[in-house]
Structure formats: C-alpha cells, structure tokens
Chains A and B, each alone.
Chain A
Amino acid sequence: MALLELRNVSKLYQLGGEEIRALDDVSLDIEGGEFISIIGPSGSGKSTLMHILGCLDSPTRGTIRLDGTMIHDATARQLAAIRNRKIGFVFQFFNLLPKLNVLQNVELPMLYSGVGGRERRERALTALQAVGMDNRARHRPSQLSGGQQQRAAIARALVNNPKIIFADEPTGNLDSHTGTMILSLFHQLSAAGRTIILVTHDPEIAAVTPRRIEIRDGKIAAKIDAKLAGLDRVSPAVPQA
C-alpha cells in the first residue's frame, strides 16, 4: 500500500460565477521514502495539489488515503492533527514566527501535539543539530540570513518526526549558493529515508529529484516537459544523492 493514494481527485473553485478546475481528476500514488518534485507552470494547479496532499485543503471530489487514513472527508480537527504529526511544511518565505526565537519556532508543532516542556526542548535542539543550526537556537528569525531561516524552518518541519515533508519552492527566495545547500539538506533527509515532495518551477531543482510529476491545467501531464524538468541539462547543479 502506498503512503499516499489519490484517486480521481478534483478541486473546483467558483470565481465570479465561473467554475475553475484547479485539479481535474488526478490519480497518483506516492510510496514511502520517495523524493519527488511537482513541477508545472504557475497556475497549473501544483500548489493546489500540494495543499490537498498536505491536508491544508480538502478536495471537491475524489478520495485520498494518507498512511492508511482516508483524509478527503476528514474534519478540520482531524486534518489539524494529521498536519501536526504526519506532515512537515517548508515554505518559500520560511514562515517563522518573528516574535519567537529559533528554538521556540521549532518547538511550535510539539506545543500543539502536547509534548512536555523538557522533551520539547531536547527534540527541538536535536532537530536544530540535524540542520546545523543548534548554535543559533536563541536568535530571532530577523537576526538570521535567508538560508539559516530556511534551515530553521526545515528543523521545525522535522521535529515531530513526520512521514512526509512538503516543500513549496524552498529555494525560491534564496541565492543559488544557499539554495544548493538547502537542496543538499533535502538530499540528506531523503537518504535518511524521509518522503519529500518538492513543489518547484525551477528546472535545476526538478533535475535532481528521482521522480517528477508535472501538472498542466490541473492534470498530470502524460509526458514530462524535458525543459521544465531540467532533463536537458548536461550536468545537474546539485550532486545526486
């Protein structure tokens, strides 16, 4: 059984009386431990797919099974619990809370899963160690560089030991050098056995992931656009893990 199973998933929006099909009859299986990039032009529906996969949104039609649980008709409360325990998010704009320091930011998911204070601190520090940020634990996000903030955000995504990590354009707001470092961090995580799903429109990033899913007009493209997927590159910018 796959970790994530989508069957005939559609997402419709009403926009000024006009119906927009952000996702149109998508079926997809993702196995545990896969490292996948979801690519596609902007407006293609790839973000919608990620939101539905990440339990931030519910599909209009279709069924989704995540780790054996049907989530397409789960309540908001159940979705919150799944987001908390089984899913970690990494965003383009880091989305750290500016008033909390790095350690408190990383502790945040555990606050909602009811982990005690001492264990929370230990696990947050371990996660920060894993991304090489343990020496910045007391800094505010505003005192950190973009790459450091993104690493803190990855630590936050990891801290509850989720099954899947979703990353939405994780390098989109970083310079290429820092982006490379963040990508290699994802490679390490993938090598350690985590399921990682990257949403990107950057061919260089798509090129380094073992599996690519291209979304076009709300559907999974039958044939991957080689250029968009970075397959025309002679040598990928990031060493393969």
Chain B
Amino acid sequence: MNVFNTILTGFKEIWAYKFRSLLTMLGIILGVASLVAMSALVKGMEVGATEALVAIGGLQKFRIEAQPVPAEQRYLQDQAVGLNLQDVEALEANATLYTNISPEMSIPRVTLSANGKNSRPWNCSGAWPVILEVYEHEIARGRMFNALDDEMARSVCVIGTEVRDNLFGSPEEVGREINPVGETININGQAFTVIGLFKHYESEQERREREAAAAQPRGPQTGPARSRGWGGRQGSFVYRFKNNSVYLPLNTARLKLAADPAGGTPNLTSIEVQLVDLSRMNETIQQVQNVMLSTHKGIRDFQFRTQEEWAERIDEFIRNARMSGGTIAGISLLVGGIGIMNIMLASISGRIREIGIRKAVGATTFDVFLQILIESVVVAVLGGLAGLLCAWGLVNIIAEISPTENEPIITPWALVVAFAFSVAVGILAGLLPAFKAARLHPIGALRYD
C-alpha cells in the first residue's frame, strides 16, 4: 500500500468519525493556537521594547553622571568639582573612541507659560546642538539652535510636540496643526522664542492607532464639552519623555535658568558619550574614566551608565516570557498528544477485526503500523492547521481586549515551529497505538469480537 493511499484511508477514517476526530484535534488546536499566540505576544513586546531602545538613541552610547563622593574619599569632598565643561573639553582633547560628546544641564522644576496656559515639561535642558544626534531627535518645523546661539546665549528654545499641545493645543483638538515657531514662551518667567519643533515621537503601534482614529469621521459634538481626564495623547514613557521636552542652548540655560545663587558656575547634570563601536564600549569607558580621573584629581564623583543594562533587562524579560509561555503551550500540546494517543488506542481496540481482515488480505505488519501512525499524524496535521487559524483569531482577540501597547506580531517562524510541533506530537502519539495494532496476530484479530 503506498503512502498516498494510506493518507487517503486516514482521512476517510477521520471523516467517518467527524465529531470524535474534532474532539481529538481540540487539544492540538488549543496547543498550537496558544503557542502561536504566546509567541506573537512576546514578539510584540520585544518589538515595542526595541523600538523604545532605538528611540532613546540605541545602545551605542553611555552617560556620565555625577554621583556623591564615595565614602573612602569623603575627606576630599571639598575638592570635588562635579561635572563641568572642563571635563567635556578634556575629553574632546584627549579621548579618541567617541563620535559625539554632549553635555547636558537639566533644569529642575520648570514651569512654561504661553498663550494663557501653564505647563510643566518632563524635561527641560540646556544642551549643545549635537543633542539631536545623541537622542535621535528630528526637527519637524523651524530649526535647531546652533553653536552661535549657544555662544551668544540667545533666548531661544526647541520644544517637543506635547509641550506644543499643552500650550497651544494639539492637532487632534484644534483640528489643524499649530506651528509654534516664532511664538514666545516663558520658562520660569523668562521669555524665550520658540525656534524649532521636534517631530512627534511615537511607537509603530501608537502611530497606527492615531491614524485609525484620524480616519474615523468625527460626528458633530453633542452636549457640553467634557474633560476627558488625562488628555488624549498617552503612549509609552520613552516617547512621551521625548515629546514633553524643551531644549535650549547650554550657555543660555547656564546663565538664565540655572544660575547658582552663590555665584559659582553651575554644574552639568550629565555628559552623554556616543561610541565609535559598540564592541569597544569597555575600552571607551576606560579611556573616558582615565581622562575624567585626571581632571577630577582622582576623586570619583562621577559614574557611568550604559543602556546595556536596559537591553539586558529587555532580553531577560523576553526570555522569561518566552520560556514560561512556551512551557504552558508545550504542556497543552503534550496534553493534546495524549488525547490523540488515548483516542487512537480506543479506536484500534474497536478495530481489531478490521486489522485482522486487512492482514488476511495481505497487509504487512508495516502496512498496519503505517496506517495507524498516519491516521494519528493526519489528525495532528489537521489539528495543527486548524490551530494556526485559531491562533490568528486568538491573536486578534487578544489585541482587541488587552491593554498592551504592543500589538502582537505573528512571525512565520512561530507558525512553522508550532506546526512542526503538532506533527511531532502526532507521530509520537501514534507510535504506541500503531505498534500495538501492528503486533496483532491475524487469527486472533479475525476472531475478535
């Protein structure tokens, strides 16, 4: 008997007992569906996390931050200078393994006011124009401040879209895009001219949601306008942080906003160093540390912070999610396989006579073995295919009801793996029943009632 005929026989057998076969398949269907759905969810999270990582400028940089003088150097505390522009100059002069160095002076507790509205941005910093590259910023309107603006400490600033929305109104509310370039805003009571607007940062998922919302026709407003609570634009932290930012030239910030009441030069909050090569991270940190220790007279009042920790946390989280989800889905596939084995065993004990007849007319042991095995595999394959369909539905339902920001993504690889698992389960589950059936003696099987 050739394989094609055997498969055909398997299909007939399944078709003859439709309901029983469906129940048998159910385990596999659920197993495959949960495997694919799990992997899609984890993939969605991974993509979201990677997007966010890229949005803050990727892995290829580290940050020098001020830290309290360590305990063993406490007696040198009055010698500690903190981060300042001398460090930046020293690094530019002596370090080699960097592409950009970006000093930053963050102004705490800032209040913006313009257009009769107040707003508190999440981040207001004085910086060099190079901040554009370091934080992956893009100018949508106007221009970035330049070195001249910095040198002359001009009262100019570049704002993110959420700052614009808060002060001038968002396109969603106003119905048109407001260009804030040229407007004057007050930062802590001092007037600044807006010379540029960053583009609106959002994850892929947020972009799609926004576009879908924009595509919906707006009905005429009925009833009084109500506050919708927390404003329209939400989104993950990284993007909001970038959108809710104000940048001004470093010198402007130093002179106008961060002036030390005691008259000293205010310190930088951080220095961002962009690497030449990610693989030379440790070398670069070492080099920077050498320079810094010399300018700081050996006082360790600074620390390095890399994005690798974050990347590792993402990796670990993804690994854990995949592991636990995979285990659960694997167990349900296993249960599905046991279900198949159970039904196949029950089915062959109801078909002993049939097996006897087949053997009497010339079926070999192997023919019978193959027939039962293929029936089991056909059940598993059909279950696997149905499971893939169900997975698609399941993923859509999950995407609909779950509050996760990251849309689940079905990868072809997950489909292939899930399907291969279902076939493997079918083969494993069929082995024992097929072996039992094939071993039956023709006479005993023929006489069996």
- Residues in A lying within 8 Å of B, measured CB to CB: 51, 56-57, 76-77, 80-81, 83-85, 89, 91, 95-97, 99, 108-109, 111-114, 156, 160
Contact = CB atoms under 8 A, between A and B. Distances in A.
A227 to B, nearest CB: 28
Given A95-B353, A99-B16, A114-B1, A109 B443 contact: no
A203 B427 CA distance: 52
Contacts of A77: 364-366
30 contacts: A56-B446, A57-B442, A76-B364, A76-B365, A77-B364, A77-B365, A80-B362, A80-B365, A83-B359, A84-B361, A84-B362, A85-B362, A89-B360, A95-B356, A95-B357, A95-B446, A96-B357, A97-B354, A97-B358, A99-B16, A108-B358, A108-B361, A109-B361, A112-B1, A112-B361, A112-B363, A112-B364, A112-B367, A114-B2, A160-B362
Interface in B406-444: 442-443
A80 B356 CA distance: 12
Question: Which of A80, A89, A109, A156 has most chain B Cβ within 10 Å?
Answer: A80
Nearest to B360: A89
Interface in B142-199: none
Interface residues of B, number: 23
B19 to A, nearest CB: 15
A91 B364 contact: no
B446 A91 contact: yes
Given A95-B353, A111-B1, A81 B361 contact: no
Query: Per DSSP, are chain A's interface residues mostly helix, strand or loop, or mixed?
Result: helix
Interface in B318-372: 353-354, 356-367
A91 B443 CA distance: 12
A21 to B, nearest CB: 17
B282 interface: no
B12 interface: yes
Contact of A56 (B363, B365, B442): B442
A129 B13 CA distance: 28
B5 interface: yes
Given A77-B365, A91-B446, A83 B1 contact: no
Question: Which of B362, B365, B446 has most chain A Cβ within 10 Å?
Answer: B362
Nearest to B16: A99
The 8 closest A-B pairs by CB, nearest first: A84-B362, A80-B364, A112-B362, A109-B361, A95-B357, A56-B442, A83-B362, A111-B1
Contacts, number: 62
Contacts of B361: 83-84, 89, 108-109, 112, 156
A81 B364 CA distance: 8
A193 B1 CA distance: 29
Given A111-B5, A114-B1, A114-B2, A51 B443 contact: yes
A99 B12 contact: yes
Interface string B1-37: 1100100000011001000000000000000000000
Contact of B360 (A81, A95, A99, A160): A95
Contact of A113 (B356, B357, B362): B362
Interface in B46-81: none
Given A95-B357, A112-B367, A56 B443 contact: yes
Contact of B362 (A57, A81, A97): A81
Interface string B360-401: 111111110000000000000000000000000000000000
Interface string B101-135: 00000000000000000000000000000000000
Contacts of B362: 80-81, 83-85, 109, 112-113, 160
A66 B404 CA distance: 75
Given A81-B364, A114-B2, 18 more contacts: A56-B359, A56-B446, A57-B443, A76-B364, A77-B364, A83-B359, A84-B362, A95-B356, A95-B357, A95-B360, A97-B357, A97-B358, A99-B12, A99-B16, A108-B357, A109-B361, A111-B1, A111-B5
Contacts of A99: 12-13, 16
B138 to A, nearest CB: 67
Contacts of B360: 56, 83, 89, 95
A51 B366 CA distance: 21
B355 to A, nearest CB: 10
Contacts of A96: 357
Contacts of A84: 361-362
Nearest to A77: B364
Question: Which of B361, B363, B365, B446 has most chain A Cβ within 10 Å?
Answer: B361
A51 to B, nearest CB: 5
A85 B5 CA distance: 19
Contacts of B358: 97, 108, 112
Question: Which of A84, A85, A96, A114 has most chain B Cβ within 10 Å?
Answer: A84
A111 B12 CA distance: 15
Contacts of A156: 361
B5 to A, nearest CB: 6
A156 B357 CA distance: 11
A97 B354 CA distance: 6
Contacts of A85: 362
A111 to B, nearest CB: 5
Nearest to B353: A95
Nearest to A98: B354
A111 B363 CA distance: 9
A47 to B, nearest CB: 9
Nearest to B5: A111
A183 B86 CA distance: 116
A91 B356 CA distance: 12
A99 B13 CA distance: 8
Nearest to A95: B357
A101 to B, nearest CB: 11
Contacts of B443: 51, 56-57
Nearest to A112: B362
Nearest to B364: A80
A135 B362 CA distance: 26
Nearest to A114: B2
A96 B354 CA distance: 8
Question: Which of A51, A89, A112 has most chain B Cβ within 10 Å?
Answer: A112
